[in-house]
Structure 1
Amino acid sequence: MPADRDVLPTSVKPTHYDISLYDISLGAPWNYTGTVIIDLDVKEEVKDITLNSHQLKIHHAQIQASEPIKASNISYNEKSQQATLSFPSSVAPSTKVKLTLTFEGTINNLMAGFYKPAAPASPSTARDDEFHYMFSTQFESSDARRAFPCFDEPNLKASFDVQIEIPEDQTALSNQPEKETKKSKKDGLKVVSFETTPVMSTYLLAWAFGDFEYVEDFTRRKYNGKNLPVRVYTTRGLKEQGRFALEHAHQVIDMFSDIFKIEYPLPKSDLLAVHEFSHGAMENWGLVTYRTTAVLFDEKNSDQKYRNRVAYVVAHELAHQWFGNLVTMDWWSELWLNEGFATWVGWYAIDKLHPDWDIWGQFVQEAMQTAFTLDSVRNSHPIEVPVKDALEVDQIFDHISYLKGASVIRMLAAHLGTETFLNGVAIYLKKHAYGNATTKDLWAGLSEASGQDVGAFIDDWIRQIGFPVLTVAEEPGQISVKQSRFLTTGDVKPEEDSTTWWLPLGLKAAVGKESNAPKALTSKETTIRGIDESFYKLNRDQTGFYRTNYPPKRLEALGSKKDQLSIQDKIGLIGDAQALAVSGDGTTTGLLGLLEKFQDEDNYLVWSQVITSLASVRQVFSTNEKVSKGLKDFTLKLVTRETEKLGWDFDPSESYLTAQLRALLIATAGLAGHEGIIATANKQFDAYFSGDKAALNQNLRSAVWRIAITEKGKPAYDAVKDEFLTTTSVDGREIALTSLGRVQSPELAEDFFKFFMSEHVAVQDVHSGSSSLAANSKTRHQLWELIKADWPHVRERLGGNMVVLDRFLRVSLNKFSDATVQQDIEAFFEGKDNKGYDRCLGVVGDTIGGNATYKARDEAAVLEWLSARGYST
């Protein structure tokens, strides 16, 4: 047993489960009965068998070896979520032992284990007077044990048979196709059984049932002579909104079968829209589950930005069918093997399907910048992080495992060449199919494909915390570069800067004037000669996961020559400048000067970074009225030209990115005080809520609603809140909830807090409301006071699923720049049981502390810069 983890005894291992679920109550008390027969490989003589069980009651346990032996005692360890079965006599080593358990469980509303939505799913269009719950499962990381007693660890793989008793008018789904349906002995019920699964981890098992319907297509490739069926299941009335996801799913399956050189390993692929979901989606093998906004898209009524989300999430989850499901990490400490790779290859797939979406620009703007933000605080963690037991793992389902992991993979793939990299992945998958693997196993496959010792130069990126900043100093004809760890607080200690990172330099120079620069920096510093001073930039296309700190004049020069930069280069330049201003390695005035040079930019992704960076600055200085007003006026001047150029009208022939840019700029200009935009937004708002739904383009709902609530107050707030309660739009509720946070008065802020903490808002969506209040400088401090005052209720409502509570606290508390608030947060949580979100509180504290230091250092200089340019008096 490894010393660094608490795991089940190794004396027995499961090889197969036969699970039967019956007596399912479709109303209070929402319980069910089950039987599970587990085939065991008994490695050594045992009298006790310990397995995982959480919130289950095991009524009977019997082991069958040479003869049946009934358990003499069943004991529970609630803290470790284990049950120990004690037998009156020993069981000898054997591969032919069966353990039979009968148990009782509860269908919860926590979005974990076997659960139901907290409210009815979509009303049936076939029977308007009826509503139907849907039932589903969510087992990752360690919640299979909530549904049935099992050996709930990723490397204890087994095959599964599942049968479930449900109402005759319902549809049941599981990982494998239906094998048989027969009438139950009970009136109105049937028993559905499914084909045996491949060997897999417990967290990948899934079942669901409800009043489902589906749309179907087939792979274009043949697998064992057949085109595989691909279906998107929804509750009745929503299936047509699954066609966009369906169109991508079958193409992605064929693409991944080609590039991984292993055919999709199951006989079908189902995608299921689940009405309440703690995550974005879950890669259950053969039955992927999604929250509705990640898989459904209404061509006529959905905001076009959801196209990207649906396409990417579908690709990400289907990548897991190989990377994570076929080959699974050995232990949760190597979660990144699943998530980092699925993230990168998901972007890769969408780039192939939609080359006009500029996917890698989006990756740099969204994924990399987000990963940088979390990884630049002391309370970050390595990509591969020690996990003592499975109950700790939920906190590392974060931007480090997903987005930093994907960024490092992108950096490595760029260095090796994408084709070579994917060949190495194929070697890895083939060697470890249906088994478990480690990071070293992936390096071995990539080394075999590339002929390079990959682990030797990339391993630090996985096992060490943080990332570097590359500081550039110029001399005539040459530059010196020096790497050091980057922290937003700017106070790196010598012991925190002991890693020498392998850094791909990616020098971009004027055409025909490339220098003989090394491909990578493998020491703390070096000098690069032969630099053409007319133009150069390091980290071409931002493929390296590091910040670059240029001398002020070089930063200004790069902004002036931005036409020579790629979209990724522009985004990286702006993101780096903003982060370096926070740390003190750069200045806010230098950042603002750089942003001025992008007034004529016409790319949505670059504008997204401009506005995101500027919003971060405005957030930090929001409590200084003069600086806040000056930054608001600066924002308005910055965006006015392109906003007025684009106008309000959508052209059916324009690009997807242009449509997104229009929505972004209208929202930004309106919220910054553009009188013409505000007047038009209010006019469209009034027309829409007077019944003329065509008066407002679906892509502008968020912009117009946010502007109207800001300007009109309670009447607009009430109208949008009613829209949330009555809309049938898949994305409309999410848009309404995030818009409501634009309230400007304490009374409305308190009303909104009570609203999203009530049963009117699903637990999965509470963080959206809280995030919008936290982003609003008028309500940010009040939100914290409301959370403190209502903490017992907040803890009770969200704490049943720590993923939800952790996310809520992160988005609610990370926008402050006041050390007194930091101290207040620390004092409030001191002495409380913070397990499950303690890492989150550490990140929040680091973030606020860094922002407070930044504000104190740069506030006067920013005010002087704004005043000198007429933005503040």
Structure 2
Amino acid sequence: MVLNWFTAEGGDGDDDMTAPWDRFRLPSSLVPEFYNITLWPRLRPNPNSGLYIFTGRSIVQFECLRATDLILIHSNKLNFTTMDEAHAAKLTAAGGGSAPDVTQTWFQLTTQYLVIHLTADLTPGHKYQLITEFSGELADDLAGFYRSEYEEDGVRRIVATSQMHPTHARKTFPCFDEPAMKAVFNVILLHPPGTVALSNGKETDIANITVDGEALLKTTFESTPKMSTYLLAVIVSDYAHLEASQGQTEIRIWARRKAIEQGQGDYALNITGLVLDFFQSYYNISYPLSKSDQIALPDFYFGAMENWGLVTYRETNLLYDPETSSNRNKETTATIIAHELAHMWFGNLVTLRWWNEVWLNEGFASYVAYLGADYAEPDWSVKDLIVLNNVHKVFAVDALTSSHPLSSREDSIVLPEQILEQFDTISYSKGAAVLRMLSDFLSEPVFRQGLSSYLRYFSYGNAVSGALWGHLEKAVDDRNVSLPRHVDSIMNPWVLQMGFPVVTIDTTTGKVSQKHFLLDPESNVTEGSPYKYEWVIPVRWMKAGDVQREIWWLMEKAAVNLDMRSGASWLLANTNVTGYYRVNYDLGNWERLFIQLHSDHQVIPVINRAQLVDDAFNLARAQLVSTSLALRSTSYLSQETEFLPWQAALNNLQYYELMLDRTEVHQPMQDYVRKQVTQLFFYFKNLTSNWTSVPEKHTDQYNQVNALRTACRTGLAECRNLTTDWFRLWMNSPQHNPVPPNLRSAVYCSALAAGGEAEWNFGWLQFKKASAASEATDLMSALACSNRAELLGRYLSYTLNSSMIRKQDATAVITAVAGTRAGHALAWDFIREHWDYMFTDYGVGSFSFSSLISGVSSRFSTATELQQLTEFVDEHKDMGFGSASLAVDQALERTKANIKWVQQNKAEVLDWFSSQTGRRWGD
């Protein structure tokens, strides 16, 4: 029979003439109901091929909604056992009756389909079962069903684990691999005695069986709720676990046996129940499953993955060792657990219809993670950190013309690499920032009411962002909240156009205006926005002496608000930085704010002290204020002891360092920063009784690290002596590490920067021996701090060998080396030389691949570097850049802006730093 393919599944326009198997989206004619999946991973290599493999059998029951003689089901890198009449699949009618025969099956590699052609049409309203048997490689590629390895007690151990998100379920079993194609999953795992099998549901039966003469365990799991394929998880390991109960929910933490014995899972176990309780209350919906497993994996590309009921983590993000981990590690564990558990409802219970709205899923979890962590650790004031970690971070990307809106058209995101590209800073951090702003101007009770209503209405289904706006609007009506426009009218400009505004307030006239903020003021992006780069802006503001922080709405390009005139006192807008915008003032108001910072900085809220610094530096880069004004925002810091303002200043001064540390500006800048940080260094020396105790306040612990790291980096002799002495003590007695856990990242870096080959080799040995992932991470970063080219070159070469540097860590190592004065050129040469290998090994499945491009190009500020980057892009454009395509565009734009900035600002920066230190270069 000849397939009349252009009528098999309708499209529109030119798409009608595209074969269904050549389209990347599934037709809507078939909808899955459930899968029965049996998988058997082999934890030893095949004696003939040397490959690790898995075998499987799948039955998927689906309903036909529209007559078709074609079944398209996703499949990638699977080998099928031939079934009826030598075809790859067998079709039966559910509940008896007859089904059409299979006439032809083939693989469509580009679109990753198993194509099954039938002798006759399937009948609408009828249900069918597709049966397949298959095998695949249990590779170490960190995608689909894959292999992770580690060594314990001198024995190499294998974990069979999974990463289905976003499009890798099809690499594990044939499936309708789109988020809206939800189904129930019934899973059975076959595995060796002595190992344990895990999946989304609880184990309901574990039986001893024999297959082909091999004794095995057969673990059967309870059915999952109706869910998307990307949330399925299957793991076989010889891990140990901890367990507890929270109400009716069983909580288990899984990890390497040594890690569990050393208590590295205790903290995660202690806070998981608290975080689950918080979200049950926050959403006003009970946790939907009977158990919550969380597991730490040695090899994992993502930071963590929200598989329903079985969340997977990098070891550094789940495990906390009280002996060696810092309080930053502890906070990371708390916030990432909160992020993943937030998804159990928002993302898993209700799932976005398609990947064009990744931002709503990830931005939401990124925002409420701070709320969940704050509930678990109320003494940390962790909610304030969203401004540094998310708002400031994404401002830097969203101020480029190569940024993109939060939401895209569905038909613009179809290829697997386009889908992966959506998981970027814009989706996570801008998403978090605009949702935080929305919660603020609605008020949290209104936000939560609308959210709960949305989740209840769409439970076990799919939705789009517009549906959330509708439920929030209903909550606004119910509570009689006054808004200037409907929720969707306020939010659409923030979601459907890229970028953000700068709000300019003239306190002499009361005029308030907005315009699209771009780091390069000569950029032109007037086209392409449905909202003409205008936003509906909630402006929170206060005057000197005010306790009340008022909100005023700016809904056009400019308006006059007489209350904004400040007279003789200062005015401050965007209090507590709840809005996603920058603020500029007339010079008189800037002057009054600086006077206030010098006379009594604590009058201004701590978040806004950080924001004044960050705004000033970025307004200067956009040529809206002078560079000298930006630098003046740091001159009060010798009086400042709080973390947020210091970190904001260091983040911005780092740009000056990246741009100018190969010029005559370097030494005066070092002198100035050392002068400013010296008082902070001695403040913490006194506070901690000569570094022997730990500051009580969470953010003080962070700022102590800043004080030490910055003082050592800028050449404060007492700091460098302290760190080298500590490291030497450790080298002399490797069994006893004298460095306080919070300070290790800074001390290791300083000591290795000052040291030679002996220190580096010792650091490498301790890295390879480290039993705690957090300790290994600190050492891995510090090894890039060396100033010796031969050592950095050796370190880069290790990234080509996964037995030296794990694949998941390779991009982090290369980026760390690229971030140093000594290693920048080495890393760039290394990437160019080994690009084909990196793209093949990291580029397809790596979540962090784009960071390789942005990291290595962060210092580019010369015409030569721009030419090299352009030639590199041209050389590899035929192959493409996969999930790093956007990062490449941003690197080119950023490099051009950097060149221009150095030309325009170097002389002024040199003069300013020299005037502050009384030293000119060459003195």
**In the TM superposition, what is the alpha-carbon distance from 1:268 to its structure 2 partner?**
0.6
Q: 1:31 to 1:342 in 2, by over 3 A?
A: same
Instruction: Give 1:669-748 correspondences, 5 Å limit.
Output: 669-691=711-733, 693-748=736-791
1:43 is the counterpart of 2:65: yes
Distance in 1 (alpha carbons) for counterparts of 2:506 and 2:296: 53
* Corresponding residue for residue 19 of structure 2: none
Aligned residues: 857
* Corresponding residue for residue 113 of structure 2: 82
**In the TM superposition, what is the alpha-carbon distance from 1:799 to its structure 2 partner?**
3.0
Q: 1:273 to 1:700 in 2, by over 3 A?
A: same
Instruction: Give 1:273-672 correspondences, 5 Å limit.
Output: 273-386=296-409, 387-391=412-416, 392-451=418-477, 453-475=486-508, 478-493=509-524, 495-496=526-527, 498-512=532-546, 519-530=552-563, 531-533=565-567, 534-561=569-596, 562-624=601-663, 626-647=664-685, 648-652=690-694, 654-672=696-714
Distance in 2 (alpha carbons) for counterparts of 1:871 and 1:733: 41
Contact 2:63 2:127 in 1 (8 A): yes
**In the TM superposition, what is the alpha-carbon distance from 1:808 to its structure 2 partner?**
2.1
Q: Deviations over 1:686-739 (max 9, x none)?
A: 001111624221222211111112212322222212221222222121111111
Contact 1:302 1:699 in 2 (8 A): yes
Q: Which moved more, 1:800-809 or 1:758-767?
A: 800-809
AA aligned opposite 1:621: L
* Corresponding residue for residue 219 of structure 2: 192
Distance in 1 (alpha carbons) for counterparts of 2:695 and 2:843: 47
AA aligned opposite 2:198: L
Q: Deviations over 1:592-614 (max 9, x none)?
A: 21101111111122221121111
Instruction: Give 1:55-70 correspondences, 5 Å limit.
Output: 55-59=77-81, 60-65=88-93, 66-67=97-98, 70=101
Q: Deviations over 1:640-668 (max 9, x none)?
A: 00101211514256222222221221111
Distance in 1 (alpha carbons) for counterparts of 2:359 and 2:435: 10
Distance in 2 (alpha carbons) for counterparts of 1:70 and 1:691: 73
Q: CA RMSD in A?
A: 1.9
Contact 2:754 2:786 in 1 (8 A): no
Q: 1:852 to 1:472 in 2, by over 3 A?
A: farther
Distance in 2 (alpha carbons) for counterparts of 1:668 and 1:513: 35
* Corresponding residue for residue 844 of structure 1: 891
Q: Which moved more, 1:5-14 or 1:833-842?
A: 5-14
Q: 1:634 to 1:116 in 2, by over 3 A?
A: same
* Corresponding residue for residue 53 of structure 1: 75
1:108 is the counterpart of 2:139: yes
**In the TM superposition, what is the alpha-carbon distance from 1:413 to its structure 2 partner?**
0.6
Give the TM-score normalised by structure 2.
Answer: 0.90
Distance in 1 (alpha carbons) for counterparts of 2:646 and 2:548: 29
Q: Deviations over 1:757-794 (max 9, x none)?
A: 33200111112212222221232123212211222332
**In the TM superposition, what is the alpha-carbon distance from 1:800 to its structure 2 partner?**
4.4
1:859 is the counterpart of 2:906: yes
Contact 1:371 1:400 in 2 (8 A): yes
Q: 1:782 to 1:86 in 2, by over 3 A?
A: same
Contact 2:781 2:813 in 1 (8 A): yes
Contact 1:634 1:871 in 2 (8 A): no
* Corresponding residue for residue 172 of structure 2: 147
AA aligned opposite 2:893: D
Contact 1:62 1:69 in 2 (8 A): no
Distance in 2 (alpha carbons) for counterparts of 1:667 and 1:519: 41
**In the TM superposition, what is the alpha-carbon distance from 1:488 to its structure 2 partner?**
1.1
Distance in 2 (alpha carbons) for counterparts of 1:553 and 1:845: 37
* Corresponding residue for residue 789 of structure 1: 833
**In the TM superposition, what is the alpha-carbon distance from 1:115 to its structure 2 partner?**
0.6
Contact 1:582 1:850 in 2 (8 A): no
* Corresponding residue for residue 833 of structure 1: 879
Q: 1:551 to 1:758 in 2, by over 3 A?
A: farther
Aligned pair partner of 2:155 in 130, 135, 160: 130
Contact 1:122 1:235 in 2 (8 A): no
**In the TM superposition, what is the alpha-carbon distance from 1:573 to its structure 2 partner?**
1.1
* Corresponding residue for residue 10 of structure 1: 28
AA aligned opposite 2:726: Q
* Corresponding residue for residue 214 of structure 1: 241
1:231 is the counterpart of 2:277: no
Give the TM-score normalised by structure 1.
Answer: 0.95
Distance in 2 (alpha carbons) for counterparts of 1:704 and 1:838: 36
* Corresponding residue for residue 262 of structure 1: 285
Distance in 1 (alpha carbons) for counterparts of 2:575 and 2:559: 18
**In the TM superposition, what is the alpha-carbon distance from 1:556 to its structure 2 partner?**
3.7
Unaligned residue ranges in structure 1 (runs of 5+): none
Distance in 1 (alpha carbons) for counterparts of 2:712 and 2:446: 48
Contact 1:556 1:593 in 2 (8 A): no
Q: Which moved more, 1:303-312 or 1:825-834?
A: 825-834
Contact 1:469 1:485 in 2 (8 A): yes
Unaligned residue ranges in structure 2 (runs of 5+): 1-9, 16-22, 82-87, 478-482
Contact 1:766 1:808 in 2 (8 A): no
Distance in 2 (alpha carbons) for counterparts of 1:845 and 1:211: 47
**In the TM superposition, what is the alpha-carbon distance from 1:842 to its structure 2 partner?**
0.5
Distance in 1 (alpha carbons) for counterparts of 2:637 and 2:542: 21
Distance in 1 (alpha carbons) for counterparts of 2:120 and 2:866: 58
Q: Deviations over 1:276-297 (max 9, x none)?
A: 1111100000000000011000
Q: 1:526 to 1:513 in 2, by over 3 A?
A: farther
Distance in 2 (alpha carbons) for counterparts of 1:320 and 1:513: 37
Q: Deviations over 1:114-143 (max 9, x none)?
A: 0112xx3251xxxx4533211111011111
Distance in 1 (alpha carbons) for counterparts of 2:402 and 2:446: 35
1:26 is the counterpart of 2:44: yes
Distance in 2 (alpha carbons) for counterparts of 1:871 and 1:417: 52
1:872 is the counterpart of 2:920: yes
Per the alignment, in what secondary structure is the counterpart of residue 210 of structure 2?
A: coil
Q: 1:191 to 1:629 in 2, by over 3 A?
A: same
Distance in 2 (alpha carbons) for counterparts of 1:799 and 1:563: 47
Contact 2:33 2:183 in 1 (8 A): yes
Per the alignment, in what secondary structure is the counterpart of residue 62 of structure 2?
A: strand
Distance in 2 (alpha carbons) for counterparts of 1:658 and 1:695: 21
Contact 2:24 2:111 in 1 (8 A): no
1:780 is the counterpart of 2:824: yes
Contact 1:170 1:211 in 2 (8 A): yes
Contact 1:24 1:165 in 2 (8 A): no
AA aligned opposite 1:851: N
**In the TM superposition, what is the alpha-carbon distance from 1:2 to its structure 2 partner?**
7.6
AA aligned opposite 1:195: E
Q: 1:214 to 1:25 in 2, by over 3 A?
A: closer
Contact 1:24 1:32 in 2 (8 A): yes
**In the TM superposition, what is the alpha-carbon distance from 1:376 to its structure 2 partner?**
0.9
Q: Deviations over 1:504-528 (max 9, x none)?
A: 110111235979x761100111122
Contact 2:355 2:413 in 1 (8 A): no
* Corresponding residue for residue 84 of structure 2: none
Distance in 1 (alpha carbons) for counterparts of 2:631 and 2:250: 53
